[in-house]
Amino acid sequence: MSCRFFKSILWVVTLFITFGLNAQFTIKGRVTDASNGDPIPFASVGLKGLPYGTNTNFDGFFELKAKSLSDSLFVSFVGYKKRVKSVARIASQTIDFQLESAQKALEEVIVYSGENPAHKIIKKLLAHKSKNDRAKLDAFEYDSYSKIELDVDNISEKFREKKFMKEVESSIRKFQKIAGEDGKLVIPTYISETISKFYFLNSPNRKKEDILKTNIKGVGVQDGGFVSQLLGGNLFANYNFYSNFVPFFGKDFASPIGETWKSNYRYFIGDTVKVDNHTCYQIDYEPKNSMDLLFNGQIWVDTTSFALVQIDATVGKEANLNFIDKIKISQELEETKEGAWLPAKTRFMIDVEELTKNSAGMLLKIFVSNKNFVVNKPHETGFYDLMSEVKEDAREPDPEFWKYARHESLSTQDYEAFALVDSVKNLPTVKTYVEIAELILSGYKKFNDIEVGPYISSFAINKVEGARFRVGFRTNAKFDKNWILRGNVGFGTKDLIPKYQLEVNYLFSKKKWTIGGIKHSYDIERVGLTPELIGDNRLFYAFTRWGAFSGAFFRRSSEIFFNSELVKGFSINTSMATRSFDPLFRFHYRIQPELGLASPVKDNLNETFLTIQARYAKNETFIMNGNERITLATKRIPVLTLTYQQGFKDLFGGDFNYQKWTFKAYQTFNFGKIGHSDYTFSAGYTPSTLPAPLLFPHLGNETFFFVRSAFSTMNYFEFVSDKYASIQINHNFEGLFFNRIPLIKKLKWRFIASANAVVGSQTSSNQELMKDVNNPLRSKFLENYAFDSLDPNKPFVEAGYGIDNIFKLFRVQAFHRLTYLDRPNVSAFRLMASINFSF
């Protein structure tokens, strides 16, 4: 008995000694940003007072193993306050951390002799760029998983007292508990998951994303069409920091590893760190001027290949941006067999500030995971024509599919977020907010498959029509995927003449974007201010409907058209149209100008004409909105348009045979710190003899609103040409000047400058066509607006300057007229304003 007892004691002692010698404690957890829940990669985690530590991975997770424990665990990371939590003396435990921003700049290290060691590494990184940059690849493709979440954050106490907040209070409390004891309250309003296949072709530059499966829950999400185009995160968050600039919001942020790295940033070398079996240099960087469009953060560079392995890039509230508290991009790259590195994981976060003191902010988070890379196996060029394509069964619910399709499992907080979205989206108050937002953004009110608007054109008051009322509509993809109907009806309380328009389109192909249709309208217009001259500026066009309404005429128009994108970026638009011109002012032109004053005259005109337009926009990309497409513009490559018109006399009542040629080029430029510019060059020529309204009326602007396409100090109908060339240049210096002026820099103003010029003329035959026709009863209209010709040796020139971003919304610009100052009823100086919403 005693022997057995001693053997048991000996076994227990031996086990205790063995366990003591080989004991291992495990602590797991996740480190996130307290303000938005975003994971913090490569934060330092360690036991206080003991030599045991680790780093978080790309998703913020850590696992620390130690042979002994202290009483506390700490987490630290540059730009955040250090956190310490107590540790239980158990074998395995989970401890999560939420870190608060420290808003503290790096301390500058002064190197007294030799070169900053961080600079040496950056130089080697750039020297190896040709090998490591994905731009060297002819093509690549991969499988992708994207998750996009839109939250309400920065919620004030007054906002929490709102009725709809009270209605979801229980769900919010549950979600807030899961977020952690230090996390701030956020309310998810939209979450989407996407499985897709992404393709990229280098030359010609093409990209495509096939949406294979989607899982969407969101407030106001009614149709997968437009929303689905935004689901594939690779189209919007596939950043390449090897490029000199990283673009978003229409602005370019200088890359910390671009050519301007040394002039824009300060660098500080840290310890070497293991990143997915790559030993890396860690380098912290910060902008030399925090208000410039620059990042701060960290980069990790492989010590052998000098490739960029991971980058964290943050834009703070100090930068000259509007409505933004913070932008953060985290990207982890993976080496391919060709040597170039592709993005394996990307996190993109935008924290939008609250617009008023008692409102709330918005938080957009995008996570993209890519795998199964295939490089340098391009498809034929036509394969890439449709930028984003949603498969037929992509939106069909399939819970079993998502269990295995995700590249990583959803967290408990993710599942609660999905449930909370379902609670919020069906509240009547929330639905009302969504409808108001849609009305403001699109101008249309949706009624299932028909949309009514645009409301900006629904009412006006002018001297010709009195109070003008108009109701318009358009159908969307719910009505029909191919047939599109548009129209409007209106009348004025003074003239009581009904106006109308009806258009029927058929979409033959989305891939080649081939569409045809017919339209007919009868409405009142103004000479030189017609829709074809003003373009897409609906606000300016609606405003010209108000006031004195000089130069008014009735126009009856019928048109049949067919447009097709023959190859990517190159489209042909053709149309056959008839138009009438019945002026409401005294207007005549000579039918036989060779007879001089003896010529018979006519006070209206009709034209029948064929239009052929070729448009080339290299690398232009689009997203589909049901049966419409929206351009995402080009990458600073000229958009070229060549238009030819042929008029036919006696065909459908046409009064003239004529030919007209028009050429237009538009392009934007980036000049780094100096800002960005755009120009519009236009030229036109007609060898035909025509009344002035059928020539090229130059677009003037007598309003107080700045319009980019108009000449700001030129009157309406002041000049008309039969051949001309014009250039309009605008430059925004961003914060180049004001960012460096104390006190003023806090206003985030931006200096802007403009220069416009046009040279043109009319042939003598065109001038004789209308010369002295209306004497001796010359109308008041023609006294002020005689469709005069420019002097071919004297261009019309104006220059402007001003301040943009006043109160984050307004632009004020002064324009000086530099030539043709001796003309009656002209202003040598005009002060103009506009609403300019930009980040």
Q: What is the pLDDT of residues 34-68, one digit of tens each?
A: 877 778 887 888 888 888 888 888 778 888 888 88
Interior CA angle at 676 toward 715 and 533, to 5°? Answer: 30
Count CA atoms closer than 13 A to 666's CA, side-chain side. 11
Q: How far apart are CA 593 and CA 1, in angstroms?
A: 137
Q: What is the pLDDT of residues 510-543, one digit of tens each?
A: 878 899 999 999 999 988 788 887 777 777 788 8
Angle CA(788)–CA(644)–CA(488) in degrees, nearest 5?
80
Amino acid present at 598 = A
Local confidence band at 141 (pLDDT 50, 70, 90 cut-offs): very high
Residue 496 pLDDT level (bands cut at 50, 70, 90): very high
Under DSSP, is residue 120 helix (H, G, I), strand (E, B) or coil?
A: helix
Distance CA 762, CA 771 (A): 12
Q: Quick one: which H or E segment has residue 281?
A: strand 278-287
What lies within 8 Å, CB to CB, of 783 at 6+ separation is none
Cα(700)–Cα(636) distance, integer angstroms: 27
Residue 457 three-state SS? helix
Domains in the chain (CATH in brackets) are: 15-99 (2.60.40.1120), 119-436 (no CATH), 443-835 (2.40.160.50)
Q: CA nearest 268: which of 98, 79, 80?
A: 79
Strand, coil or helix: what is 109? coil
User: Distance from first CA to last CA of the chain, Å, rounded?
Assistant: 85
In the numeric block, which tokens belong to residue 483? 């047939």
Angle at 266 between CA 263 and CA 267, to 5 degrees: 125
**Which range scores top for mean pLDDT: 51-55, 138-142, 226-230, 354-358?**
138-142
| CA–CA separation, 52 and 75 (whole Å) | 12
Q: What is the largest CA-CA distance in the chain?
A: 144
Q: HSE on the CB side for 525, CA within 13 Å? A: 21
Residues 652-686 have pLDDT tens digits of: 999 999 999 999 999 988 777 788 899 999 999 99
- Distances from the Cα of 772 to the Cα of 333, 598, 823, angstroms: 74, 12, 19
Q: Which helix (H) or strand (E) holds 234?
A: helix 234-237
Q: pLDDT category, 482, cuts 50, 70, 90?
A: very high
DSSP 262: H
Contact 81, 34 (CB under 8 A): no
State the pLDDT at residue 179. 54
pLDDT at 417 over 90: no
Q: Is the pLDDT of residue 171 over 70?
A: no
Distance CA 367, CA 371 (A): 14
What is residue 567's predicted lDDT score, i.e. its pLDDT? 84
The tokens describing 235, both together, are 């189209």
Please indicate whether residue 633 or residue 776 has the higher confidence score (pLDDT): 633
Instruction: Please state which of the ranges 158-172, 396-410, 741-755 shows the lowest mean pLDDT.
Output: 158-172
Kindly list the distances between the CA atom of residue 538 and the CA atoms of 286, 288, 442, 471, 475, in Å, as whole numbers in the listed order. 42, 41, 12, 15, 19
Q: What percent of the chain has pLDDT over 90?
A: 36
Q: Which residues contact 837 (CB under 8 A, 6 or more apart)?
A: 809
Q: Which two tokens stand for residue 675?
A: 């800002």
By C-alpha distance, which of 199, 201, 198 is closest to 138? 201
Q: E strands along 20-138, which residues?
A: 25-33, 44-47, 53-55, 61-66, 72-76, 83-86, 92-94, 97-99
List the one residue out of 281, 310, 309 whose CA is nearest residue 117.
Answer: 281
Count of Cβ atoms closer than 10 Å to residue 305 Cβ = 17
The neighbouring-strand residues paired with 832 are: 813
Other C-beta atoms closer than 10 Å to the C-beta of 379 total 13
Residue-wise pLDDT tens digits, 556-579: 999 999 999 988 889 999 999 999
Nearby residues of 193 by Cβ (< 8 Å), 6 or more positions away: 145, 146, 147, 214, 215, 216, 402, 406
DSSP assignment of 356-395 equals STTS-EEEEEEEEEEEEEEES-PPPGGGGSSSEEE-TTTT
Residue 486: both structure tokens together: 């548009």
| Confidence grade of residue 836 (pLDDT, cut at 50, 70, 90) | confident
How many Å apart are CA 497 and CA 764, to the nearest integer?
38
